[in-house]
Structure 1
Amino acid sequence: MHVTIKRETDTPAYMQIFEQIRRQILSGELLSGFRLPPERKLAESLGVNRTTVVNAYRKLKAEGLIGSQVGRGTVVLSYPQEDLNSGTGNMQEPVWNQVFSQYSNGFDSCIVKDLLTLASRKDVISFATGIASPETGPIQALAGIEHEIVEKKNYRALLHTPTEGFSSLREAVCGLMQKRGVSCQWDETMLLSGSQQGIDLAARIMIDPGDVVVVEEPSFFPAVQAFKTMGARIMGIPIDDRGMRVDVLEQLLHRYRPKLIYTIPTFHNPSGTEMELERRRQLVELAYKYRVLIIEDDAYGDLCYEGRALPALKSLDHDGYVVYLSTFSKTVYSGLRLGWMVAHKEVVKKFAAAKQVMDLHSSSLSQWIVERFIASGGLDAHIPKVCREYRIKRDTMYDALSKYAPADLIWNRPRGGYYIWCKLPPGISAAKLISKAAERKVVFVPGSPFFSSGQGDDFLRLNFTFAPRKDVDEGVQRLCEAMKELLDNSDHQEIGPDLEINPIV
């Protein structure tokens, strides 16, 4: 059963609940005997008073759709089909809850999907999307490469490739990894349809129901969801300004013996933090000690705006315990949908077998374009340009927060990556801020999806790469105005000229 409350509509909340449940019963989604959630539990999950749910259930009972049964609570009643169809004939749609698998039920209906839809509107300033700026992409270089491939009638670029990717690109990936301090052979690499596919493949081939998977808290929520859908038990390890708390991790490793550790050590999503070098070494040593594999998600490793990025975990691993994932989507174009993996040969074989079932191989044309882009030196020239532009955008957002933020908002200044991570002032809920910000046509991602423990409503993630530079200051001003309005409504004092701004250092 799925029920949502739209706060912005004039329809009373109890009528929204009634209509949605009624529709699901009449469509056959909720079958006879289905047990509805207790009134108090549903009220808590929707953020409404229990009386609201009571009134909705009362109206459903009045129509004979639900009833109370001793020992079972409130259940959907059986009913004559002809009465419900009201002369419209036999129901044409399938009974959807019988069609979809238990696996599909593991995918949460998340507010982020709605935010991304809103973010696609031209009149909205988006800090929600985690994608590269379309303004910084090397469109002319890539267009030239594609034209050359097609002009020379290179039919191989449009044919199938090996599932792992064609060999010259895998060799080029080895060259990229050498610059990241990782020595590998071409048969230890594999091309992916984005690094997120690597996470999904890892979940499919490594996790059995009941296995424990360790993630940072907060963490990249699609990864957490991928692990959960395979039946994993998720255990979060807190992070601080030096990355994952490996001291806490060791206690968990000793007690639970997890199957996997998933981490984003470099310019973490969503927090932007970096795992310090000593903790990286300790993490790899713990993997050896407890014989647990590490999935290193390094989507942002090239996007360092000050100094040098710290060594990848893979560069510290000499025994095959780190499975390394990265992508071209964050530095070139998101639409390329091309990433790569570096791992032990045995892991590559298993990943390739699973990928072959999913999509046979990644886009041939994208592989050829990226291979030529690397070989020509275009990628090496492109990365510094992207870093210069994103550094300016990061500083613009940071300075705008310093100008407009209410008292007690806390935020950081990451050395690289895509995101600024903010902790809201007491009295502000990210869930409520979404609506207020949307009224001002600015969107962000609330913190709660990034936490596996149900926390995070006092955090938000701001992306500074996607919005045009001219819109960043304006968008932050609108967002901060929305915060101040919520504070006013909660009888909190607005920021004054003598009050101190609190960036995370």
Structure 2
Amino acid sequence: MRIVINRDDTKAVYLQIFEQIRQQILSGELIPGFTLPPERKLAESLGVNRTTVLNAYRELKAEGLIDSRVGKGTIVLSYPDSELSNATHYEEPVWDHTFSQYSGQFDPFMLKELLAIANRKDVISFATGIASPESGPLQIFKGIEEEILNSNDYKALLHSPTEGFHSIRESVCQLMHKRGVYCGIEEVMLFSGSQQCIDIMARILLDPGDIVVVEEPSFFPAVQAFKSLGARVMGVPMDDKGMRLDILEQLLQRYRPKFIYTMPNFQNPTGLEMVLERRKGLYELARKYKVFIMEDDAYGDLSYDGMPLPLIKSMDNEGYVIYISTFSKSVYPGLRLGWMVAHKKIVQKCTALKQVMDIHSNSLSQWIIERFIRSGDFDKHMKKSCNDYRIKRDAMYEALLNYAPHDLKWHKPKGGYYFWCKLPNGILASKLVLKAAEYKVAFVPGSTFFTSGEGEEYIRLNFTFASVPEIDEGIKRLCKAIRDLKESSDDEEAFNNIEMNPIV
């Protein structure tokens, strides 16, 4: 529906609106059943008073062209022409039969609700897994962007090769060399975030019915991506040293999975670091059973205590390890830039698929990150981020010590983003989410990260996003919510005992 207001016309504005809508109805441009914009919305878009639109609609109703229906808004009724007035009544599509079976694999409800709560200004959020905006290199980025855009060089605003610009792939190689992986640019590919990389890798490796092994618990968007392709996902439990290799080998012997997905550095959600002997053992099992490892290293740069352990990819000479990382966790999530290091045959397959998805990752983000790395500012930024996040981690640790009930269990992560907490007996994370919302604090319940429907006794707390004072206050509120649930649970148990043991 198109309406143009002529401010120089002596005709009243409401009549201009009335006549234009009337003409569009009479000409057949607006069909019976078409819903007109609400008065307020149309008034805002035209820059007029709502009463002006209301008067125009009244004129249209007087001629029998439109009517207001409860729950449907203001709709076009019919044409005056007798032939057109018998036109079929139009309804919305039958949505249940519209979407593919593939689309039904995704259920964003819980995550969407958590993000909605977490994004409220009055809520302290430990739910979102994103970098702190205050720790980001905003001023440096402004300088880099101005330099790029003021140089009259349009490369940063043009298409890039699907794998990424040659220069940023070289820069990523430099990063990987510092991490003990001596790769060439033909083994490096840029993606629109590491989640796109996981999705594309799953698509080129998996057929329906294939088996994927993951840590239990694991990063749920990855699990969701595998399942959506018809794969069977099997979880291997973890202990404080990482994935249990004794159980893993049993699965490898029996099922011959397509690949193993792991986050050895400060795993999401547990924050655990896989010990060196487990990393070596995992790689040896991959070689023995000829199965790929997808090593997701989103948090490896965020190490707060001691020296980082060698990457599994650094042990790989045959091409069994597919390494994935991202700038979203270490710099800004809005950059939407991640990368992969893998055998060149895998890069070639990923390139062919990415071409039909989005052609290439954001060109400007690639140029900014490339300059950021080459200038040495990336290393300086990571040092600052680690210092900032160490302070926040310690603040959450101290707050838990000060406020948590004695039977809430957790460990102090050496890096990454998260505390993984085991709730007191009888407290369910699904109930705690609701109680914590009353105190205006948000977190992610543990069941989200399990493939088997377990995890109600766990919660994940992010410490990078909130400020230090918010961390202290938020943990205090959360622990108050836990105590409230414990008291109500104790009261219910006492009541049940009275019912079972009546006084005679």
Q: Shorter-chain TM-score: which interval?
A: 0.7 to 0.9
The amino acid of 1:166's aligned partner reads: F
Q: Which residue of 2 aligns with 1:227?
A: 226
Which residue in 2 is equivalent to 1:7?
none
SS at match of 1:310: coil
How far did 1:108 drift? 2.0
After the TM superposition, which residues 331-346 of structure 1 pair with which residues of structure 2 at under 5 Å, given as runs?
331-346=330-345
Alignment deviations for residues 158-203 of structure 1 (CA, whole Å, 9 cap, x no partner): 0000000000100000000011110100110000111111110011
Counterpart of 2:95? 96
Task: Report the residue type matching 2:314 in the other structure.
Answer: S
Aligned AA (2:458)? F
Instruction: Give 1:265's aligned residue.
Output: 264
Are residues 1:347 and 2:346 paired?
Answer: yes
Alignment of 1:439-454 (within 5 A): 439-454=438-453
In structure 1, C-alpha distance between the alignment counterparts of 2:176 and 2:491, rounded to whole Å? 51
Cα 1:462–1:203 change in 2 (3 A) is: same
Distance 1:401 1:469 in 2: 13
Whole-Å Cα distance in 2 between the matches of residues 200 and 375 of structure 1?
29
Whole-angstrom distance in 2 between the partners of 1:488 and 1:111: 27
Distance 1:236 1:283 in 2: 15
Cα offset for 1:439? Answer: 0.7
1:17 corresponds to: none
TM superposition shift of 1:432: 0.4
Shift of 1:386: 0.1
> Match for residue 461 of structure 1?
460
- Pair 1:487 & 2:479 matched: no
The offset of 1:407, in angstroms, is 2.3
- Alpha-carbon distance in 1 for matches of 2:193, 2:176: 17
- Aligned pairs for 1:38-437 (under 5 A) are 90=89, 92-437=91-436
Give the distance between the partners of 1:230 and 1:461, measured in 2 at CA. 27
Task: Give the partner amino acid of 1:370.
Answer: I
Shift of 1:117: 1.4
Separation in structure 2 between the aligned mates of residue 404 and residue 91 of structure 1, nearest angstrom: 60
Q: Distance in 2 between matches of 1:123 and 1:484?
A: 22
- Secondary structure of the 1:491 match is helix
CA distance in 1, matches of 2:385, 2:131: 9
Residue 97 of structure 1 deviates from its aligned partner by 1.7
Deviations 1:428-447 (A, max 9, x none): 11000001100111000000
- Per mean C-alpha deviation after superposition, the further-off stretch among 361-370 and 95-104 is 95-104
Counterparts of 1:437 and 1:314, CA distance in 2: 41
2:187 and 2:178 mapped to 1: Cα distance? 16
State the SS of the aligned residue for 1:147.
Answer: helix
RMSD: 1.5
Partner of 2:36: none
Question: Cα offset for 1:140?
Answer: 0.2
Cα distance in 2 for residues equivalent to 1:349 and 1:361: 14
Give SS of 2:421's match.
strand
Deviations along 1:265-299, one digit per CA (max 9) or x if unpaired, are 11000000011101111111111111111110000
Residue 427 of structure 1: how far off its partner (Å) = 1.1
CA distance in 1, matches of 2:129, 2:158: 31
- Residues 428 and 364 (structure 1), Cα distance of their counterparts in 2 relative to 1, 3 Å cut: same
SS at match of 1:247: helix
Distance 1:469 1:202 in 2: 38
SS in 2 for 1:140: helix
Q: 1:492 to 1:240 in 2, by over 3 A?
A: farther
SS in 2 for 1:421: strand
Q: Distance in 1 between matches of 2:471 and 2:89?
A: 54
What TM-score does the superposition give when structure 2 sets the normalisation length?
0.80
Following the alignment from structure 1 to structure 2, what is the Cα–Cα distance between the partners of residues 255 and 119?
Answer: 43
In 1, Cα distance between equivalents of 2:330 and 2:153 = 26
Q: Secondary structure at the match of 1:308?
A: coil
The one-letter code sitting in structure 2 at the alignment partner of 1:243 is G
> Whole-Å Cα distance in 1 between the matches of residues 427 and 223 of structure 2?
26
Report the alpha carbon displacement of residue 492 of structure 1 after superposing the two structures with TM.
7.1
State, as a whole percentage, how many aligned pairs show the same letter. 65
**Superposition deviation, residue 110 in structure 1:** 3.7
Give CA deviations for 1:179-228 in whole Å, capped at 9, x if unaligned. Answer: 11101001100001111111100111110000000000000000000000
Q: Which amino acid in the other structure matches residue 435 of structure 1?
A: L
Listed as ranges, the gaps of 5+ residues in structure 1 are 1-84, 494-505
Aligned-partner Cα distance in 1 for 2:403–2:111:
25
Q: What is the CA deviation profile of residues 248-273 of structure 1, one whole-angstrom value per residue up to 9, with x for unaligned ones?
A: 10010000000110000110000000
For 1:492 and 1:380, how far apart are their aligned partners in 2? 54
Query: What's the offset of the Cα at 1:129?
Result: 0.3
Q: Cα distance, 1:469 vs. partner?
A: 1.8
Counterparts of 1:117 and 1:325, CA distance in 2: 29
Name the SS of the counterpart of 2:133 in structure 1.
coil
CA distance in 2, matches of 1:217, 1:267: 14
The 2-side partners of 1:204 and 1:294 are apart by: 15
Q: Deviations over 1:32-60 (max 9, x none)?
A: xxxxxxxxxxxxxxxxxxxxxxxxxxxxx
CA 437–256 in structure 1, closer or farther in 2 if over 3 Å, else same: same
- Give the residue type in structure 2 aligned to 1:123: D
Offset, 1:91:
5.7
